[in-house]
Structure 1
Amino acid sequence: MGSDLTGSELTGSELTGHCLCGAVTFRGQRGGDALRACHCGQCRRWSGHVWAAIGLTDLRIAGPVRWHASSDRAERGFCPQCGSALFWKARGGTETDVAAGALDAPTGLELAGHIFAADKGDYYRIADDLPHWPQEAPE
């Protein structure tokens, strides 16, 4: 198991989490982004369904992470031991999006909307009243 960054006291805006096997742990400050579900084809293939993530700043990661250049604008990080999909970051960005499913509870987060809704799979409906955008959310 990697060094554990999840055990110490949290500040109000800090979130912690880990992969399925516990080899990768992380801790970071909640960024400006809200928790959003991404329905794009890459995120669905990466996670097996919808990717819900929140941006973190000052992210500290302990344990092995393998990074994959998933496009010319972003890369994705995962645990090489158990395969957990954990991180997405834009090249040159200041935040790293972290999979909501990897966060330790309680998070205090609520889903704020859906991005890339036009690309969602044909096997489900977006059945809530939250905002959804055909592509990225406006800044």
Structure 2
Amino acid sequence: MPNKNGGTGGCLCGGVRYHVTGELRDAVACHCGQCRKTTGHHGVFSACRNEDLIMESDETLAWYESSPGVRRGFCGKCGSTLFWDDRSRDYTAVAAGSLDKPTGIKMIKHIYVADKGDYYRIEGCAPAGVNPDPE
């Protein structure tokens, strides 16, 4: 069940801090090659509406355009993965590991499982289709 109350989060060094004023959707584990390269394993992301994501401090926030129209937000100082933003959509994916506890969310599915690393197995959560849209 999504967290209706939002939450707070940020990077390891504290250079980026944010809060979400609206609903945080339950998390999705993405095993695509880009998430594996940017996180070192697989990406786990919640999501919120763009207008609900409020930056408190973004002095070290950097963006990398990983695909046309899609960018990944990370801390340019400590390297923490923070956001995935497809600018054609009305939401931003928020790295679940960047959220302060308690998050009030749970992981509900895996996507792009055909691209996962060959060094681990996925158990306990059925794979979903390849559509990364969390709705």
Query: In structure 2, what is the equivalent of residue 5 of structure 1?
Result: none
Q: What secondary structure is seen at the aligned counterpart in 2 of 1:70?
A: strand
Query: In structure 2, what is the equivalent of residue 91 of structure 1?
Result: 87
Q: What secondary structure is seen at the aligned counterpart in 2 of 1:30?
A: coil
Query: In structure 1, what is the equivalent of residue 43 of structure 2?
Result: 51
- Compare the two structures and name the one with the higher strand fraction: 2
Q: Take 1:137 and 1:44, find their aligned partners in 2: how far apart are those partners? A: 15
Q: Take 2:85 and 2:43, find their aligned partners in 1: how far apart are those partners? A: 13
Q: Take 2:42 and 2:68, find their aligned partners in 1: how far apart are those partners? A: 21
**1:56-92, Cα deviation, whole Å (9 max, x unpaired):** 1210112221111000141001111111110001022
Query: In structure 2, what is the equivalent of residue 105 of structure 1?
Result: 101
Q: Take 2:4 and 2:83, find their aligned partners in 1: how far apart are those partners? A: 22
Q: What secondary structure is seen at the aligned counterpart in 2 of 1:76?
A: strand
Structure 2 length as normaliser, TM-score?
A: 0.86
Q: Take 2:23 and 2:30, find their aligned partners in 1: how far apart are those partners? A: 18
**CA, structure 1 residues 80+136, in 2 after alignment: closer, same or farther (shift >3 Å)?**
same
Which of 30, 42, 51 is 2:23 aligned to?
30
Query: In structure 1, what is the equivalent of residue 130 of structure 2?
Result: 135
| RMSD between superposed Cα atoms in Å | 1.8
Count residues in correspondence: 127
Q: Which runs of 5+ in 1 are unaligned?
A: 1-10
Aligned-residue identity in percent: 43
Q: Take 2:122 and 2:33, find their aligned partners in 1: how far apart are those partners? A: 15
Residue identity in the other structure for 1:107: T
Query: In structure 2, what is the equivalent of residue 6 of structure 1?
Result: none
Q: Name which one, 1 or 2, has greater alpha-carbon Rg.
A: 1
Give 1:137 shift. 5.6
Q: Take 1:48 and 1:111, find their aligned partners in 2: how far apart are those partners? A: 19
Query: In structure 2, what is the equivalent of residue 42 of structure 1?
Result: 34
Higher relative contact order (CA 8 A, sep 6+): 2
